[in-house]
Chain A
Amino acid sequence: MKFVLVTGTTLSQAQGKEHGKVSPKYKEAVAVCELAEEDMERLGVKPGDPVRVTSPYGSVVVKAVKARDPTPGIAFIPTGIWANAVTAPETSAAGIPSYKCIEVEIEPAPGEKVPDLEELLKQSVGVKG
């Protein structure tokens, strides 16, 4: 299903990052995709199920959660490396990439694991050595 992806700060993301980016608390807060209840029903997923989010720039598996600010058709992923697996690198000569209003495809990903920080680094950014 097609969605407009918005990324941004949340309270739990901000608190989680103060515990360190490698902390389970941070992953719990950030490796999620907030969806409106009716969109979750249409996708056939329940809160906690893995979903795959794909944009023209990349793909990532995150956990579906019920949106606090539900707007059908809009998916929200908190700022962080999971969101940035799919955000847009083009800066339109303004220096800033597009972190909001990105067209994405979201599908259920039964059995797929939400990668931890080091796995995601390997998948989407690369490794040294």
Chain B
Amino acid sequence: MPVIQGAVCAFCGCVCDDLEVLVENNEIKDVKYACAIGREKVLNCVKERDPRVLIRENGKFREASLEEALDRAAEILANSKYPLLYGWSNTSCEAIKIGVALAEELGGVIDNTACVCHGPGLEAVHEVGVVEGTLGQARHRADLIVYWGCNPTQAHMRHMMRYSAMSQGIFRSGRKERKVVVVDVRKTTTARLADVFLQVKPGKDYELFQALRMAIRDEEIEAEEVAGIPVEQIEELADMMVSCQVGFLFFGLGLTQSSAKNENIAAAISLIRDLNFKTKWLMLPMRGHHNVTGANKVTLWETGYPFAVDFSHGYPRYNPGETSSTDLLARGEVDAALIVASDPVANMPAQIAKHFAKIPVIDIDPLMTATGLLSDVRIPAAFTGIEAEGTLYRMDGVPLVSKKLVEPPEGILPDKILLQRLLEKVRKLRRR
């Protein structure tokens, strides 16, 4: 049975590139080394595909040819005054590049799912600068790992084993040579594996970061507790952080999606900057989708901005809060939407998603989703990383080329080809 070595997992931002996939007669029979989620995806997702090309007519779906659906999609976009092109974090960089060209052609907005996950971290970088690291540095060098507002045992299942707390690095090997700290509002499954767990009060992470910064500078904290944590514990953690050789902070949506949002990350970056006056510290966001980092990178190098890019003035503009998809939808400003490899109808608050019911929506996705159910044109695509190759960016910005493991069914095309054909049709209509 043919075995594909070094297959790349297209699930989370870890983008593990050591999978072995057994393929027989164009069917995936087994997968080794993947986590429980990656395994579920590689083995099962193609079985759950909805292969129907659908167009909504008089309120109801009818099956259509791919050509007819692309024609209808091109008409919707070409007739739109201010379209939103959203998603992109579950497809390849090559497809995203075409998406940017389409947004520019249409004078629309291109936004990716960073808007609802780690976008605040990108905004914080504008405010206070950047301290980054690679997963290789965490694996080989870090002797103190802090997970703050994230739960890798549920969402990034191989992160601790492959890249951090339990990894077999060159200079640090295994769990015994490292300390692990978890800060979270709940005692999560990750917290149970930690040496130190701080249960922060919900929405009070910003205060805790600032208290830690004070403790690191040996300033007196004039309170008994901050954010629900006794000051002695804060001072003990500050001592641990200062006395390690290489520390690594991984942070999650617990920081970006709670009330202080980008200010939480600005405080975290400031803490790491302060620590670098005493010892070596690095940090990274725990990116969720397998190519959300790539969506930021491609949009950045094509337009100068990582997400929420508005072409309506004829040149790229970026102002989260104004040009972000969430705000544009909440204000009812966009008049059509192209959604690629994402499900914003399910993943945005209903009060925002409501606008999708009022505008024409084109959905390109291998699976039927809530967005697909609400769409006017639904085009099934090949699964990136399984049926289509393409470049993906790991959470630390390392690009990896995913492999095609099996051929997609006849007539099912990769996002890159579907978008190229859509772009050509839009250009033709607009030049009439």
List residues of chain A with CB under 8 Å of any chain B CB: 4, 6-11, 14-15, 18-23, 57-58, 67-71, 74, 76, 79-81, 84-85, 87-89, 91-101, 117-118, 121, 124-129
Stretch binding the partner chain, chosen from B78-86, B270-278, B344-352, B401-409 = B344-352
Q: Is B370 an interface residue (CB 8 A)?
A: yes
Stretch binding the partner chain, chosen from B15-23, B96-104, B211-219, B354-362 = B354-362
Cα A81 to Cα B308 with chains together (Å): 23
Q: For A85, list chain B residues within 8 Å (CB).
A: 350
A97: min CB distance to chain B, Å: 5
Q: For B37, list chain A residues within 8 Å (CB).
A: 11, 14-15, 18
User: A23-B48, A89-B352, A91-B327 in contact; A81/B155 too (CB < 8 A)?
Assistant: no
Interchain residue pairs with CB less than 8 A apart (12): A11-B37, A69-B187, A69-B191, A74-B186, A89-B349, A94-B120, A97-B326, A100-B257, A100-B258, A101-B259, A126-B354, A129-B58
Task: Select which of A19, A68, A76 is within 8 A of B48 by beta carbon.
Answer: A19
Decide if B188 touches A69 in the complex (CB within 8 Å): yes
User: A80-B346, A89-B351 in contact; A128/B59 too (CB < 8 A)?
Assistant: yes
B320: min CB distance to chain A, Å: 3
Q: For B27, list chain A residues within 8 Å (CB).
A: none
Which residue of chain A lies nearest to B344 when distances are taken between CB atoms in the complex?
A: A84
Contacts A95-B123, A99-B116 known; 20 new A-B pairs at CB < 8 A: A11-B155, A14-B37, A15-B37, A20-B368, A21-B346, A22-B373, A57-B349, A71-B187, A80-B346, A84-B347, A85-B350, A94-B123, A94-B320, A96-B120, A96-B326, A98-B258, A99-B253, A100-B185, A101-B259, A129-B58
Stretch binding the partner chain, chosen from B38-46, B137-145, B242-250, B415-423 = B38-46
Cα A86 to Cα B226 with chains together (Å): 29
Contact flags B47-61 to A (C-beta < 8 A → 1, else 0): 010100000101110
Decide if A11 touches B56 in the complex (CB within 8 Å): no
Q: For A14, list chain B residues within 8 Å (CB).
A: 11-12, 37, 40, 154-155
Task: Select which of B58, B254, B349 is within 8 A of A97 by beta carbon.
Answer: B349
Q: Is B324 an interface residue (CB 8 A)?
A: yes
Task: Select which of A18, A76, A87, A128 is within 8 A of B44 by beta carbon.
Answer: A18
Decide if B202 touches A6 in the complex (CB within 8 Å): yes
Decide if A81 touches B346 in the complex (CB within 8 Å): yes
Decide if A71 touches B116 in the complex (CB within 8 Å): no
Cα A71 to Cα B50 with chains together (Å): 39
Task: Select which of A11, A19, A96 is within 8 A of B116 by beta carbon.
Answer: A96
Decide if B203 touches A101 in the complex (CB within 8 Å): yes
User: A6-B186, A81-B370, A94-B320 in contact; A100/B254 too (CB < 8 A)?
Assistant: yes
Decide if B356 touches A125 in the complex (CB within 8 Å): yes
A2: min CB distance to chain B, Å: 13
A100: min CB distance to chain B, Å: 4
Decide if A11 touches B357 in the complex (CB within 8 Å): no
Decide if A93 touches B374 in the complex (CB within 8 Å): no
Which residue of chain A lies nearest to B204 when distances are taken between CB atoms in the complex?
A: A101
User: A71-B199, A96-B256 in contact; A20/B345 too (CB < 8 A)?
Assistant: no
Which residue of chain A lies nearest to B191 when distances are taken between CB atoms in the complex?
A: A69
A123: min CB distance to chain B, Å: 9
Q: For B40, list chain A residues within 8 Å (CB).
A: 14-15, 18-19
Q: For A79, list chain B residues within 8 Å (CB).
A: 347
Decide if A93 touches B320 in the complex (CB within 8 Å): yes
Q: For A58, list chain B residues within 8 Å (CB).
A: 350-351
Q: Is B369 an interface residue (CB 8 A)?
A: yes
Cα A51 to Cα B368 with chains together (Å): 28
Contact flags B319-339 to A (C-beta < 8 A → 1, else 0): 011101111001000000000
Q: Is B376 an interface residue (CB 8 A)?
A: yes
Which residue of chain B lies nearest to A71 when distances are taken between CB atoms in the complex?
A: B186
Contact flags B84-124 to A (C-beta < 8 A → 1, else 0): 00000000000000000000000000000001110110010
Cα A88 to Cα B352 with chains together (Å): 9
Which residue of chain B lies nearest to A36 when distances are taken between CB atoms in the complex?
A: B186
User: A14-B37, A15-B40, A71-B186 in contact; A8/B324 too (CB < 8 A)?
Assistant: no
Decide if B120 touches A98 in the complex (CB within 8 Å): no
Q: For B356, list chain A residues within 8 Å (CB).
A: 125
Decide if B330 touches A89 in the complex (CB within 8 Å): yes
Cα A22 to Cα B36 with chains together (Å): 21
Of residues 300 through 332 on chain B, the ones whose CB sits less than 8 Å from some CB of chain A are 307-308, 320-322, 324-327, 330
Q: Is B28 an interface residue (CB 8 A)?
A: no
Cα A99 to Cα B115 with chains together (Å): 12
Q: For A100, list chain B residues within 8 Å (CB).
A: 185, 202-203, 253-254, 257-258
Contact flags B166-183 to A (C-beta < 8 A → 1, else 0): 000000000000000000
A61: min CB distance to chain B, Å: 14
Q: For B358, list chain A residues within 8 Å (CB).
A: 126
